[in-house]
Amino acid sequence: MRLILFSLMIFCFSGICSFFFGKNPRVANMMGAGGTVMGALIGLVPASIVLWTGRIAEFQRSWQIPYGSFSLKLDALSAFFLLTILILSAIAAIYGCTYLWDYRNRKNLGASWFFFNILVASMVMVVISHNGMLFLMAWEIMSLSSFFLVTFEDEIKSVRQAGWIYLIATHIGTAFLFVLFILLAHRCSSLDFTHFIASGVNGTSLTGTAFLLAVIGFGTKAGFMPFHVWLPEAHPAAPSHVSAVMSGVMIKTGIYGLFRTLSFLGRPEPWWGWLLIAVGLTSGILGVLFALAQHDLKRLLAYSSVENIGIITLGLGLGVLGLAVNQPVLAVLGFGGSLLHVLNHALFKGLLFLGAGAVLHATGVRNIEQLGGLIRHMPWTGTLFLIGSFAICGLPPLNGFISEFLIFVGAFMGMGLSDVSLSSIGVIAGLAAIGGLAAACFTKAFGIVFLGEPRCTPALPVHEISWSMRLPMLLLALGCLGIGLLSPWIISAMNPLIGNVTGLLINDIDVHLAVIVLPLQRITALSCFFVLILASLILLRRHLLSGKIPGQSCTWDCGFLRPTARMQYTASSYAQPITTMFGFFLQTRQTIHAPEGLFPARASLHTHTDDVFLKRLFHPLFHGIHRLLLRLHWLQQGRVQIYVLYVAVTLLSLLIWNLR
């Protein structure tokens, strides 16, 4: 525990230092990124120890704040999330060093690093705090520091707008959490998590309400549909390494919160599982559909985060359902798949955001339609982005496959059982649909950006990114491959973690995990074989090409004499069949100027996909609230005297009321 506190101190200290050295970008960069990496390395030690042994580390001090106590606890669940947070933050920090260097003359890098370090420290605090007050404070600091990171380029109007949407959404979520914790504290007369668990809230009508509050409150942070509206705004606005951290790990604190809350509520009820599965299906399928319709690379990735949160929630729902109907095998596989997908998504989504950042860094363009053919100029970025795309589509031998496989197997086990067969079929169908659509989405993203010819002449000469940005991506790609190839051992090592979440005995979990370990071993063997074949094919190609100069020539152009780069498939045309099929959900707006006459001169097609929930649900809702509140506008006179009068009258009437 000491080490964790020490690493927290390093985060804060390096953040403050880089803030004060803001004038000197080189020092600020070094202090900020160096502090994050060092703090993460130190924090990884206790996290891995706890995760490996399942032993619990605690730290407790009394605290002046009412209902608060400075109690920290590192159990397997916290340690797992801590591990994910620290790994991705450290890698993103290394990347951010170079990424931010371009902004050194326009922006104060010190402030950015300050908030980055505070964000990492607060995320660590969120997953290890064991008291409601401390948790909420860390949660709030996390929201605020990430708000300042999102509004890094605050001179752009859309960035400011995104920042506001994020700030409002996250605070609405926090409001639900406040109600949740007040409810629990009212019941247990303490805000310590230990009391929540011990006093047994379960079996009362409170549990259902508390669960719903947690789903809304934590779901807003995690990005459940329809509370996801801030994600597609905030992620494109933030600098890429920040998007990677926010999408990779910050939204997972919402998932952590759900896991933690479930541990307070005792035995779950079946409808919780059904609700979570429904939420997961909605987020997953709609998330990937919206991702498919986007033109902005980072916005696409943000929607894909919603999709992956959906997959995580499907696993979670399956696990909860398994606990509710007493089917431990479902619980083990559901929770296991869900947790593993948290780590996996952090790795490959981090990789993809860093890749998108590299594209942005090299070309200055975020719109997919203007890109193309980048793999010739940026072979490393292209290959690494391809690996990330494979992983996110859930293809073997990479890690995304393993976690989805776990959930799939769990759902297939559940199909034969009464009570859960219908939901299991739903999970299987949903996961399959998500996988297929994700494949379409990422072939589009990769194919349009990296293959073909550039669709517009780039403003800058495109160049491969430097090693300091390549190395973090390489590490993440290796992580993806590593988890994919070592899956049987990793699943076995997750035993204490699953035990912590489900409350089952280690031996029972071993029995249930045995179901999956054998197929995973076969998959590993096949994957190794596949990797070997791939490597030998690459070597063969290189051997055949050695000494020859590959040339470039025109494809058959249908008799048309001068094919141009604009005759390629565009992102919209590639996605069009699917977006038309699901046009009912997407509500894509089209502006078509169709070609006319025998010799058409001008024609254009413009499509735009707004977020349906933002436009149809939240805009009218907030407009209504705004109109309602305008009626109270006469209270605001803008005079100091009037406000003092309000305060004085309130205090006096309270005093009189009390003395009555």
Partner 1 sequence: MELWIDALIVLLILTNLKLIGSSRLSACIRIVALQGVLLGILPGLVNPDQMTLRAILLSAITIVFKGMVFPWLLLRSMRTSSVRREMEPFIGYSTSMLISVGLLALAMWMGGRLPLPIPLKSPLVVPLSLFTIMVGLLAIVSRKKALSQVLGYLVMENGIYAFGLALALKEPLLVELGTLLDVFMAVFVMGIAIFHINREFDHIDTDLLSALKG
Q: What is the closest distance, in whole angstroms, from the C-beta atom of residue 648 to partner 1 in the complex?
A: 4
Segment interacting with partner 1 (CB under 8 A) among 203-211, 252-260, 560-568, 640-648: 640-648
CA distance 11 to 35: 6
* Contacts (Cβ under 8 Å, ≥6 apart) of 609: 290, 293, 294, 579, 586, 587, 588, 589
One-letter-per-residue 3-state SS of 188-238 = HCCCEHHHHHHHCCCCCCHHHHHHHHHHHHHHHHHCCCCCCCCHHHHHHHC
Distance CA 262, CA 265 (A): 5
For the bound state, the minimum distance from the C-beta of residue 306 to partner 1, rounded and expressed in Å, comes to: 36
In the complex with partner 1, which residue's Cβ is closer, 622 or 643? 643
CB closer to partner 1 out of 591 and 658:
658
Q: Which of 648, 650, 653, 654 binds partner 1 (CB under 8 A)?
A: 648
Among 62, 550, 641, 657, binds partner 1 (CB under 8 A): 641
- One-letter amino acid of 417: L
- Give the interface size with partner 1 as a residue count (CB under 8 A): 13
**Shortest spacing between CB 628 and partner 1, in angstroms:** 22
**630 part of the interface to partner 1, by CB under 8 A:** no
Look up tokens 């699943």; give the residue. Answer: 491
**Cβ closer to partner 1: 525 or 652?**
652
**Contact by Cβ (8 Å): 40, 116:** no
Among 50, 74, 75, 70, which residue's Cα sits nearest to residue 60?
70
633 binds partner 1 (CB under 8 A): no
For position 198 contacting partner 1 by CB under 8 A, the verdict is no
Question: Which is nearer to partner 1, 560 or 657 (by Cβ)?
Answer: 657
Q: Of 164 and 613, which has the nearer Cβ to partner 1? A: 164
For residues 131-147, one letter each, b for 16 or more C-beta atoms within 10 angstroms of the residue's C-beta and e for the rest, the string is bbbbbbbbbbbbbbbbb
Q: Kindly state the smallest distance separating residue 647's Cβ from partner 1, in Å.
A: 8
- Interface with partner 1 includes 656 (CB under 8 A)? yes
How far apart are CB 625 and partner 1 at their closest, in Å?
21
Nearer to partner 1, 581 or 652 (CB): 652
* Least Å from the CB of residue 172 to partner 1: 25
CA gap 254, 217 in Å, rounded: 8
Question: CA–CA separation, 605 vs 570, rounded Å?
Answer: 11
Q: Residue 644, interface with partner 1 (CB under 8 A)?
A: yes
Determine how many CB atoms are found less than 10 A away from the CB of residue 609.
Answer: 22
Does 634 bind partner 1 (CB under 8 A)? Our answer is no
CB of 326 to partner 1, least distance (A): 58
CB 232 within 8 A of CB 290: yes
Nearer to partner 1 (CB atom), residue 189 or residue 641: 641
Q: Which is nearer to partner 1, 549 or 656 (CB)?
A: 656
Least distance from partner 1 to the Cβ atom of residue 237, Å: 25
Stretch of 32-40, 468-476, 608-616, 635-643 lying at the interface with partner 1 (CB under 8 A):
635-643
Handedness of CA 565, 567, 572, 578 (dihedral sign): negative
The helix-helix angle for 109-128 and 2-20 (nearest 10°) equals 160
Query: CB neighbours of 258 closer than 8 A, spacing ≥ 6?
Result: 214, 215, 218, 219, 222, 316
Q: Which of 168, 118, 164, 162 is CA-nearest to residue 142?
A: 118
635 part of the interface to partner 1, by CB under 8 A: no
Q: Is 537 in the site for partner 1 (CB under 8 A)?
A: no
Q: Which stretch binds partner 1 (CB under 8 A): 15-23, 219-227, 319-327, 649-657?
A: 649-657
Give the range of 526-534, 541-549, 570-578, 645-653 binding partner 1 by CB under 8 A.
645-653
- Cβ proximity to partner 1, 521 vs 637, nearer residue: 637
* Candidates 322-330, 447-455, 621-629, 643-651; binding stretch for partner 1 (CB under 8 A): 643-651
Structure tokens at 247: 């999408």
Which of 14, 16, 21 is closest to 41 using CA atoms? 14
Contact flag: residue 632 with partner 1 (CB under 8 A): no
User: How many Cβ atoms from other residues are within 10 Å of residue 453's Cβ?
Assistant: 14
Q: Which window, 141-149, 239-247, 468-476, 636-644, contacts partner 1 (CB under 8 A)?
A: 636-644
Of 224-232, 467-475, 595-603, 633-641, which segment contacts partner 1 by CB under 8 A?
A: 633-641
Question: 226: which 2 tokens?
Answer: 């329809």
Query: In the bound complex, what is the minimum distance in angstroms from residue 639's beta carbon to partner 1?
Result: 5
Q: Least distance in Å: CB of 61 to partner 1?
A: 26
Least separation in angstroms between CB 658 and partner 1: 9
Q: Which of 645, 650, 653, 654 binds partner 1 (CB under 8 A)?
A: 645
Q: How far apart are CA 159 and CA 164, in angstroms?
A: 9
Q: Which stretch binds partner 1 (CB under 8 A): 58-66, 408-416, 603-611, 637-645?
A: 637-645
Which value, to the nearest 10 degrees, does the dihedral of the CA atoms of residues 507, 508, 514, 520 take?
-100
Q: Which is nearer to partner 1, 526 or 644 (CB)?
A: 644
Tell me which of 639, 650, 653, 654 binds partner 1, using CB under 8 A. 639
Smallest gap from Cβ 250 to partner 1, in A, equals 33
- Which of the ranges 64-72, 325-333, 625-633, 647-655 carries the binding residues for partner 1, by CB under 8 A? 647-655
Contact between residue 414 and residue 424 where contact means Cβ atoms under 8 Å apart: yes
Alpha helix (H) ranges present in 416-546? 421-450, 467-485, 487-493, 495-502, 506-545
Binding of partner 1 at residue 655 (CB under 8 A)?
yes
One of 640, 650, 653, 654 touching partner 1 (CB under 8 A): 640
CB of 642 to partner 1, least distance (A): 8
Residue 654 interacts with partner 1 (CB under 8 A): yes or no: no
Amino acid letter, 54: G
- Nearest approach in angstroms of CB 638 to partner 1 is 5
Give the one residue of 544, 561, 601, 659 binding partner 1; rule: CB under 8 A.
659
CB of 161 to partner 1, least distance (A): 18
* SS3 labels along 265-306: CCCCCHHHHHHHHHHHHHHHHHHHHHHHCCCEHHHHHHHHHH
For 659, other C-beta atoms within 10 Å of its C-beta total 6
With contact defined as beta carbons under 8 Å apart, do 398 and 391 qualify?
Answer: yes
CA distances 304 to 214, 308, 389, Å, are 23, 6, 11
Q: Least Å distance between CB 659 and partner 1?
A: 4
Binding site for partner 1 (CB under 8 A): 637-642, 644-645, 648, 652, 655-656, 659
